[in-house]
Amino acid sequence: MTLDLAADQVVGATGVAVDGNPGWTPDASERSAYTARPAESLGLLTGASAEGRKRVRFRAQRVHHFGWAADPRFTHEGVTRFSLNDAGQRSDLPSIHVLFFPGDTAWGGNRVARLTLGAVQWVGALFGPYPYPQLTVLHRLESGGTEFPMLVMNGSASEGLIVHEVTHQWLHGILGSNEWREGWLDEGFTSFVTNWYMEEKLRREGNAPAADSLWNGAVRSIERLERADSTQALNLPGAAYRSPRIYGAMTYTKGSLVLRMLRDYLGEPTFRRVLRRYYDEWKFRHPTGRDFFAVAERVSGRDLDWFRTSWIERTDKLDYSVASAASTRLPSGRWQTRVELARTGEAWMPVTVRAGDAEQRVSGRARRQTVLLTSRERPAEVVVDPRWIVIDSDRSNNRAPVR
Protein backbone atom coordinates (compact mmCIF):
# COMPACT_ATOMS: atom_id res chain seq x y z
CA MET A 1 0.00 0.00 0.00
CA THR A 2 1.52 3.33 -1.09
CA LEU A 3 0.29 6.51 0.61
CA ASP A 4 0.74 9.93 -1.00
CA LEU A 5 0.99 12.41 1.88
CA ALA A 6 1.94 15.97 2.72
CA ALA A 7 5.67 15.95 3.41
CA ASP A 8 5.27 16.91 7.09
CA GLN A 9 2.96 14.01 7.97
CA VAL A 10 3.99 11.38 10.51
CA VAL A 11 2.19 8.15 9.70
CA GLY A 12 1.48 4.79 11.30
CA ALA A 13 -0.09 1.92 9.40
CA THR A 14 -0.58 -1.80 8.95
CA GLY A 15 2.65 -3.33 7.67
CA VAL A 16 6.28 -2.28 7.43
CA ALA A 17 7.39 1.02 5.89
CA VAL A 18 9.62 -0.47 3.18
CA ASP A 19 9.99 2.71 1.08
CA GLY A 20 9.79 6.40 1.92
CA ASN A 21 9.91 8.32 5.15
CA PRO A 22 7.00 7.74 7.56
CA GLY A 23 8.27 10.52 9.83
CA TRP A 24 10.32 8.19 12.02
CA THR A 25 13.09 5.67 11.36
CA PRO A 26 11.89 2.09 10.80
CA ASP A 27 13.97 -0.69 12.33
CA ALA A 28 16.17 -2.42 9.77
CA SER A 29 15.01 -5.83 11.03
CA GLU A 30 11.42 -4.93 10.15
CA ARG A 31 12.29 -4.12 6.56
CA SER A 32 14.27 -7.35 6.25
CA ALA A 33 11.27 -9.39 7.40
CA TYR A 34 9.76 -9.23 3.90
CA THR A 35 11.56 -10.07 0.68
CA ALA A 36 12.28 -6.89 -1.25
CA ARG A 37 10.26 -6.39 -4.41
CA PRO A 38 9.12 -3.36 -6.42
CA ALA A 39 5.76 -1.72 -5.86
CA GLU A 40 2.85 -3.02 -7.92
CA SER A 41 1.33 0.03 -9.58
CA LEU A 42 -2.42 0.42 -9.94
CA GLY A 43 -1.92 3.41 -12.22
CA LEU A 44 -3.16 5.83 -9.57
CA LEU A 45 0.20 7.28 -8.57
CA THR A 46 2.42 8.02 -11.54
CA GLY A 47 5.60 10.05 -11.82
CA ALA A 48 7.35 11.67 -8.90
CA SER A 49 5.63 13.11 -5.83
CA ALA A 50 4.42 16.69 -6.17
CA GLU A 51 6.37 19.42 -4.41
CA GLY A 52 5.68 19.38 -0.68
CA ARG A 53 4.47 15.79 -0.75
CA LYS A 54 5.97 12.35 -0.18
CA ARG A 55 5.12 8.72 -0.74
CA VAL A 56 5.44 6.00 1.86
CA ARG A 57 4.98 2.36 0.89
CA PHE A 58 3.87 -0.17 3.49
CA ARG A 59 4.06 -3.88 2.95
CA ALA A 60 2.27 -6.62 4.91
CA GLN A 61 1.68 -10.31 4.43
CA ARG A 62 -1.16 -12.50 5.73
CA VAL A 63 -3.43 -9.62 6.73
CA HIS A 64 -7.10 -9.13 5.91
CA HIS A 65 -7.41 -5.45 6.79
CA PHE A 66 -5.40 -2.24 6.41
CA GLY A 67 -5.49 0.86 8.56
CA TRP A 68 -3.46 4.06 8.73
CA ALA A 69 -3.45 7.45 10.43
CA ALA A 70 -1.27 10.52 10.01
CA ASP A 71 -0.70 13.79 11.82
CA PRO A 72 2.25 16.21 11.60
CA ARG A 73 2.18 16.57 15.40
CA PHE A 74 2.86 12.91 16.14
CA THR A 75 5.87 12.15 18.30
CA HIS A 76 7.45 8.72 17.86
CA GLU A 77 8.76 6.43 20.56
CA GLY A 78 9.50 2.76 20.27
CA VAL A 79 11.32 -0.38 21.21
CA THR A 80 13.10 -2.11 18.35
CA ARG A 81 13.84 -5.76 17.80
CA PHE A 82 17.55 -5.00 18.09
CA SER A 83 17.15 -3.36 21.51
CA LEU A 84 15.01 -6.27 22.66
CA ASN A 85 17.68 -8.74 21.60
CA ASP A 86 20.37 -6.70 23.35
CA ALA A 87 18.25 -6.74 26.53
CA GLY A 88 18.02 -10.53 26.41
CA GLN A 89 14.39 -10.65 25.28
CA ARG A 90 13.09 -13.29 22.88
CA SER A 91 14.03 -12.68 19.25
CA ASP A 92 10.47 -13.38 18.03
CA LEU A 93 9.10 -10.22 19.64
CA PRO A 94 8.04 -7.42 17.27
CA SER A 95 9.28 -3.88 17.25
CA ILE A 96 6.87 -1.59 19.10
CA HIS A 97 6.12 1.88 17.71
CA VAL A 98 4.09 4.50 19.57
CA LEU A 99 2.78 7.73 17.99
CA PHE A 100 1.31 10.38 20.27
CA PHE A 101 0.79 14.11 20.54
CA PRO A 102 2.94 16.68 22.36
CA GLY A 103 1.69 17.00 25.92
CA ASP A 104 0.49 13.39 26.10
CA THR A 105 2.37 12.78 29.34
CA ALA A 106 0.67 9.43 29.94
CA TRP A 107 1.98 8.18 26.59
CA GLY A 108 5.60 9.32 26.78
CA GLY A 109 8.69 7.99 28.48
CA ASN A 110 8.19 4.68 26.67
CA ARG A 111 5.33 3.89 29.10
CA VAL A 112 2.92 2.84 26.35
CA ALA A 113 5.70 0.99 24.53
CA ARG A 114 6.50 -1.02 27.65
CA LEU A 115 2.82 -1.79 28.37
CA THR A 116 2.33 -2.85 24.76
CA LEU A 117 5.37 -5.11 24.87
CA GLY A 118 4.14 -6.66 28.12
CA ALA A 119 0.72 -7.30 26.59
CA VAL A 120 2.29 -8.89 23.48
CA GLN A 121 4.34 -11.21 25.68
CA TRP A 122 1.38 -12.18 27.91
CA VAL A 123 -1.14 -12.78 25.11
CA GLY A 124 1.51 -14.54 23.04
CA ALA A 125 2.15 -16.95 25.91
CA LEU A 126 -1.59 -17.66 26.02
CA PHE A 127 -2.20 -18.32 22.31
CA GLY A 128 1.08 -18.43 20.42
CA PRO A 129 3.79 -16.07 19.10
CA TYR A 130 2.94 -12.78 17.45
CA PRO A 131 3.85 -13.44 13.78
CA TYR A 132 4.30 -9.92 12.44
CA PRO A 133 7.50 -7.83 12.53
CA GLN A 134 6.02 -4.74 14.15
CA LEU A 135 3.08 -3.35 16.14
CA THR A 136 2.13 0.34 16.16
CA VAL A 137 -0.02 1.98 18.84
CA LEU A 138 -1.14 5.52 18.10
CA HIS A 139 -3.25 8.13 19.89
CA ARG A 140 -6.49 8.76 18.08
CA LEU A 141 -8.77 11.73 18.67
CA GLU A 142 -11.85 9.76 19.75
CA SER A 143 -12.21 7.71 22.91
CA GLY A 144 -12.11 3.92 22.81
CA GLY A 145 -9.97 1.92 20.44
CA THR A 146 -9.91 0.31 17.01
CA GLU A 147 -7.81 -2.61 15.86
CA PHE A 148 -6.12 -3.42 12.58
CA PRO A 149 -3.40 -5.98 11.89
CA MET A 150 -0.12 -4.52 13.22
CA LEU A 151 -1.89 -1.28 14.21
CA VAL A 152 -4.13 -0.12 17.04
CA MET A 153 -5.64 3.33 17.46
CA ASN A 154 -6.36 4.16 21.10
CA GLY A 155 -8.12 7.11 22.66
CA SER A 156 -6.18 6.82 25.91
CA ALA A 157 -3.07 5.26 27.38
CA SER A 158 -4.91 3.10 29.90
CA GLU A 159 -3.42 -0.35 30.47
CA GLY A 160 -6.78 -2.08 30.05
CA LEU A 161 -7.39 -0.47 26.66
CA ILE A 162 -3.86 -1.29 25.48
CA VAL A 163 -4.25 -4.95 26.49
CA HIS A 164 -7.70 -5.15 24.88
CA GLU A 165 -6.55 -3.80 21.54
CA VAL A 166 -3.33 -5.81 21.57
CA THR A 167 -5.39 -8.96 22.21
CA HIS A 168 -7.36 -8.15 19.07
CA GLN A 169 -4.14 -8.74 17.13
CA TRP A 170 -4.72 -12.44 17.85
CA LEU A 171 -8.54 -12.72 17.83
CA HIS A 172 -9.28 -10.26 15.04
CA GLY A 173 -6.00 -10.12 13.15
CA ILE A 174 -4.30 -13.51 13.22
CA LEU A 175 -7.24 -15.85 13.76
CA GLY A 176 -9.50 -13.60 11.70
CA SER A 177 -12.71 -13.97 13.72
CA ASN A 178 -15.71 -12.43 11.97
CA GLU A 179 -16.91 -9.72 14.34
CA TRP A 180 -20.09 -9.06 12.37
CA ARG A 181 -21.22 -12.69 12.22
CA GLU A 182 -20.11 -13.81 15.71
CA GLY A 183 -19.11 -10.84 17.78
CA TRP A 184 -18.61 -12.88 20.94
CA LEU A 185 -15.78 -14.79 19.25
CA ASP A 186 -13.89 -11.53 18.74
CA GLU A 187 -15.01 -8.84 21.19
CA GLY A 188 -16.23 -11.24 23.87
CA PHE A 189 -13.07 -13.31 23.68
CA THR A 190 -10.91 -10.18 23.72
CA SER A 191 -12.77 -8.79 26.75
CA PHE A 192 -12.34 -12.13 28.54
CA VAL A 193 -8.58 -12.20 27.87
CA THR A 194 -8.26 -8.55 28.99
CA ASN A 195 -9.91 -9.32 32.32
CA TRP A 196 -7.80 -12.45 32.71
CA TYR A 197 -4.67 -10.31 32.25
CA MET A 198 -5.93 -7.86 34.88
CA GLU A 199 -6.76 -10.74 37.26
CA GLU A 200 -3.21 -12.02 37.11
CA LYS A 201 -1.73 -8.52 37.42
CA LEU A 202 -3.76 -7.79 40.56
CA ARG A 203 -2.73 -11.11 42.12
CA ARG A 204 0.95 -10.44 41.33
CA GLU A 205 0.57 -7.10 43.08
CA GLY A 206 -0.90 -8.82 46.15
CA ASN A 207 -4.40 -7.42 45.64
CA ALA A 208 -6.38 -10.66 45.76
CA PRO A 209 -9.68 -9.02 46.87
CA ALA A 210 -9.69 -6.79 43.77
CA ALA A 211 -8.86 -9.77 41.55
CA ASP A 212 -11.66 -11.81 43.14
CA SER A 213 -14.26 -9.09 42.56
CA LEU A 214 -13.04 -7.99 39.12
CA TRP A 215 -15.88 -9.70 37.25
CA ASN A 216 -18.72 -8.89 39.67
CA GLY A 217 -19.94 -5.75 37.93
CA ALA A 218 -20.21 -7.55 34.60
CA VAL A 219 -22.02 -10.47 36.25
CA ARG A 220 -24.53 -8.10 37.87
CA SER A 221 -25.26 -6.33 34.59
CA ILE A 222 -25.97 -9.54 32.68
CA GLU A 223 -28.04 -11.03 35.49
CA ARG A 224 -30.23 -7.89 35.47
CA LEU A 225 -30.84 -8.40 31.74
CA GLU A 226 -31.64 -12.06 32.38
CA ARG A 227 -34.28 -11.15 34.95
CA ALA A 228 -35.78 -8.64 32.50
CA ASP A 229 -35.86 -11.24 29.68
CA SER A 230 -33.71 -8.87 27.62
CA THR A 231 -30.92 -11.21 26.55
CA GLN A 232 -30.39 -12.60 23.04
CA ALA A 233 -28.29 -15.50 21.82
CA LEU A 234 -24.57 -14.80 21.48
CA ASN A 235 -24.17 -16.32 18.01
CA LEU A 236 -26.39 -13.80 16.20
CA PRO A 237 -25.06 -11.46 13.50
CA GLY A 238 -24.53 -7.94 14.79
CA ALA A 239 -27.50 -6.50 12.90
CA ALA A 240 -29.90 -8.99 14.55
CA TYR A 241 -29.63 -7.44 18.02
CA ARG A 242 -32.48 -5.25 19.19
CA SER A 243 -30.30 -2.28 20.08
CA PRO A 244 -26.65 -1.22 20.31
CA ARG A 245 -26.93 -1.61 24.09
CA ILE A 246 -28.02 -5.25 23.86
CA TYR A 247 -25.41 -5.89 21.17
CA GLY A 248 -22.68 -4.60 23.48
CA ALA A 249 -23.97 -6.49 26.51
CA MET A 250 -24.22 -9.81 24.67
CA THR A 251 -21.11 -9.49 22.53
CA TYR A 252 -18.63 -7.97 24.96
CA THR A 253 -19.96 -8.68 28.45
CA LYS A 254 -21.91 -11.93 28.34
CA GLY A 255 -19.47 -13.35 25.80
CA SER A 256 -16.58 -12.77 28.20
CA LEU A 257 -18.51 -14.25 31.14
CA VAL A 258 -19.43 -17.38 29.20
CA LEU A 259 -15.78 -17.96 28.32
CA ARG A 260 -14.87 -17.47 31.97
CA MET A 261 -17.42 -20.15 32.88
CA LEU A 262 -15.86 -22.47 30.29
CA ARG A 263 -12.39 -21.84 31.75
CA ASP A 264 -13.73 -22.73 35.18
CA TYR A 265 -15.50 -25.85 33.90
CA LEU A 266 -12.49 -27.22 32.01
CA GLY A 267 -9.89 -26.01 34.49
CA GLU A 268 -7.27 -23.40 33.67
CA PRO A 269 -4.48 -25.80 32.56
CA THR A 270 -6.81 -27.54 30.09
CA PHE A 271 -8.26 -24.25 28.91
CA ARG A 272 -4.76 -22.95 28.19
CA ARG A 273 -4.09 -26.03 26.08
CA VAL A 274 -7.34 -25.36 24.22
CA LEU A 275 -6.23 -21.83 23.35
CA ARG A 276 -2.82 -22.97 22.10
CA ARG A 277 -4.35 -25.68 19.91
CA TYR A 278 -7.03 -23.28 18.65
CA TYR A 279 -4.34 -20.82 17.60
CA ASP A 280 -2.13 -23.48 16.04
CA GLU A 281 -4.96 -24.97 13.99
CA TRP A 282 -6.87 -21.84 12.99
CA LYS A 283 -4.44 -18.91 12.64
CA PHE A 284 -5.07 -17.06 9.35
CA ARG A 285 -8.11 -19.30 8.63
CA HIS A 286 -11.18 -17.40 9.95
CA PRO A 287 -12.67 -19.89 12.44
CA THR A 288 -16.27 -19.94 13.66
CA GLY A 289 -17.56 -20.53 17.15
CA ARG A 290 -18.25 -24.16 16.32
CA ASP A 291 -14.63 -24.54 15.20
CA PHE A 292 -13.50 -23.25 18.59
CA PHE A 293 -15.75 -25.70 20.45
CA ALA A 294 -14.58 -28.58 18.27
CA VAL A 295 -11.02 -27.84 19.38
CA ALA A 296 -12.11 -27.51 23.00
CA GLU A 297 -13.82 -30.91 22.87
CA ARG A 298 -10.81 -32.65 21.34
CA VAL A 299 -8.33 -31.15 23.78
CA SER A 300 -10.46 -31.62 26.91
CA GLY A 301 -12.01 -34.95 25.94
CA ARG A 302 -15.41 -33.61 27.05
CA ASP A 303 -18.71 -33.20 25.27
CA LEU A 304 -19.49 -29.48 25.15
CA ASP A 305 -22.62 -29.50 22.97
CA TRP A 306 -24.76 -28.72 26.01
CA PHE A 307 -22.57 -25.76 26.93
CA ARG A 308 -22.52 -24.31 23.41
CA THR A 309 -26.26 -24.81 22.96
CA SER A 310 -27.37 -23.28 26.28
CA TRP A 311 -24.85 -20.48 26.64
CA ILE A 312 -24.03 -19.49 23.04
CA GLU A 313 -26.91 -20.48 20.80
CA ARG A 314 -29.89 -20.03 23.16
CA THR A 315 -30.87 -17.80 26.06
CA ASP A 316 -31.39 -20.55 28.63
CA LYS A 317 -31.45 -19.34 32.22
CA LEU A 318 -30.03 -20.81 35.40
CA ASP A 319 -31.04 -20.09 38.98
CA TYR A 320 -29.49 -21.87 41.94
CA SER A 321 -30.96 -21.34 45.40
CA VAL A 322 -30.53 -22.57 48.96
CA ALA A 323 -33.71 -24.40 49.92
CA SER A 324 -32.49 -25.08 53.47
CA ALA A 325 -29.31 -25.24 55.54
CA ALA A 326 -28.80 -26.78 58.97
CA SER A 327 -25.69 -27.64 61.01
CA THR A 328 -25.02 -30.30 63.62
CA ARG A 329 -21.94 -30.80 65.77
CA LEU A 330 -19.96 -33.95 65.13
CA PRO A 331 -18.23 -36.05 67.84
CA SER A 332 -14.92 -34.68 66.57
CA GLY A 333 -16.02 -31.16 67.46
CA ARG A 334 -16.33 -30.09 63.85
CA TRP A 335 -19.61 -29.02 62.27
CA GLN A 336 -21.49 -30.72 59.47
CA THR A 337 -23.83 -28.53 57.42
CA ARG A 338 -26.57 -30.13 55.38
CA VAL A 339 -27.57 -27.95 52.42
CA GLU A 340 -30.56 -28.57 50.18
CA LEU A 341 -29.60 -27.03 46.84
CA ALA A 342 -32.29 -26.27 44.25
CA ARG A 343 -31.92 -25.42 40.56
CA THR A 344 -34.46 -23.93 38.18
CA GLY A 345 -34.17 -22.90 34.55
CA GLU A 346 -33.13 -24.70 31.38
CA ALA A 347 -29.36 -24.19 31.75
CA TRP A 348 -26.86 -26.00 33.97
CA MET A 349 -23.37 -25.45 35.29
CA PRO A 350 -21.41 -27.00 38.15
CA VAL A 351 -21.43 -24.71 41.15
CA THR A 352 -19.47 -24.26 44.37
CA VAL A 353 -21.23 -24.23 47.74
CA ARG A 354 -19.50 -22.67 50.76
CA ALA A 355 -20.29 -23.04 54.47
CA GLY A 356 -17.77 -21.36 56.73
CA ASP A 357 -14.30 -22.59 55.79
CA ALA A 358 -15.67 -25.56 53.83
CA GLU A 359 -16.38 -25.63 50.11
CA GLN A 360 -17.70 -28.29 47.76
CA ARG A 361 -18.16 -28.30 44.01
CA VAL A 362 -21.54 -29.70 43.03
CA SER A 363 -21.52 -31.31 39.59
CA GLY A 364 -24.81 -33.21 39.61
CA ARG A 365 -27.64 -32.21 37.31
CA ALA A 366 -30.55 -33.07 39.57
CA ARG A 367 -33.00 -30.26 40.27
CA ARG A 368 -32.61 -30.77 44.03
CA GLN A 369 -29.43 -32.05 45.64
CA THR A 370 -28.20 -32.56 49.18
CA VAL A 371 -24.72 -31.25 49.94
CA LEU A 372 -22.81 -32.08 53.15
CA LEU A 373 -19.97 -29.77 54.21
CA THR A 374 -17.73 -30.15 57.27
CA SER A 375 -16.17 -27.04 58.80
CA ARG A 376 -14.08 -26.20 61.87
CA GLU A 377 -16.57 -23.67 63.20
CA ARG A 378 -20.33 -23.47 63.01
CA PRO A 379 -21.06 -21.45 59.85
CA ALA A 380 -23.42 -18.50 60.03
CA GLU A 381 -24.58 -18.84 56.44
CA VAL A 382 -24.32 -20.88 53.27
CA VAL A 383 -23.28 -19.22 49.99
CA VAL A 384 -23.80 -20.66 46.51
CA ASP A 385 -21.28 -19.57 43.86
CA PRO A 386 -19.20 -17.42 46.24
CA ARG A 387 -16.75 -16.37 43.47
CA TRP A 388 -19.49 -15.26 41.08
CA ILE A 389 -18.49 -17.67 38.31
CA VAL A 390 -21.94 -18.76 37.13
CA ILE A 391 -24.46 -16.47 35.41
CA ASP A 392 -27.27 -16.92 37.92
CA SER A 393 -30.46 -15.07 37.03
CA ASP A 394 -31.47 -14.53 40.69
CA ARG A 395 -28.48 -14.21 43.00
CA SER A 396 -30.64 -12.99 45.89
CA ASN A 397 -31.43 -16.59 46.87
CA ASN A 398 -27.79 -17.76 46.78
CA ARG A 399 -27.33 -17.05 50.49
CA ALA A 400 -29.20 -18.45 53.48
CA PRO A 401 -28.62 -18.48 57.24
CA VAL A 402 -27.74 -21.81 58.82
CA ARG A 403 -30.22 -23.16 61.32
Question: Residue 84 pLDDT more than 80?
Answer: no
Model pLDDT for residues 32-53, shown as the tens digit of each residue: 888 767 888 888 888 889 999 9
Contact residues for 83 (Cβ-Cβ < 8 A; gap 6+): none
Check residue 182 and report its DSSP letter: -
* Cβ atoms 162, 154 nearer than 8 A: yes
Q: Residue 89: is its pLDDT beyond 70?
A: no
Q: Going by DSSP bridges, is the β-strand pair 368-375/381-384 parallel, antiparallel, or unpaired?
A: unpaired
Contacts of 155 (CB under 8 A, 6+ apart): 139, 140, 141, 142, 143, 144, 145, 161
Q: Is the pLDDT of residue 90 over 60?
A: no
Mean pLDDT, rounded, for 4-10: 97
**Residue-by-residue DSSP string for 217-274:** HHHHHHHHHHHTT----TTS-GGGSSSHHHHHIIIIIIHHHHHHHHHHHH-HHHHHHH
| Alpha-carbon span 284 to 117, nearest angstrom | 22
Q: Which amino acid is at 331?
A: P
Instruction: Give yes or no for residue 342 having a pLDDT over 90.
Output: yes
- The pLDDT of residue 29 is 83
Q: What is the pLDDT of residue 83?
A: 56
Q: With contact defined as beta carbons under 8 Å apart, do 259 and 232 qualify?
A: no
Average pLDDT over residues 317-346: 98
d(CA 319, CA 340): 14
For residue 81, the model assigns a pLDDT of: 58
Three-state DSSP state, 313: helix
Nearest to 12, CA basis, from 22, 2, 26, 1: 22
Question: Residue 297: pLDDT band by 50, 70, 90 thresholds?
Answer: very high
Residues forming beta bridges with residue 322, ordered by sequence position = 341
Cβ neighbours for 159, distance < 8 A, ≥ 6 positions apart: 115
pLDDT higher than threshold 70 for residue 82: no
**Contact partners, residue 55, CB within 8 Å, separation at least 6:** 2, 3, 4, 5, 19, 20, 45, 49
Average pLDDT across the chain, whole number: 95
The model's pLDDT over 187-219, given as tens digits with 9 standing for 90+, comes to: 999 999 999 999 999 999 999 999 999 999 999
- Which pTM was predicted? 0.95
pLDDT of residue 32: 86
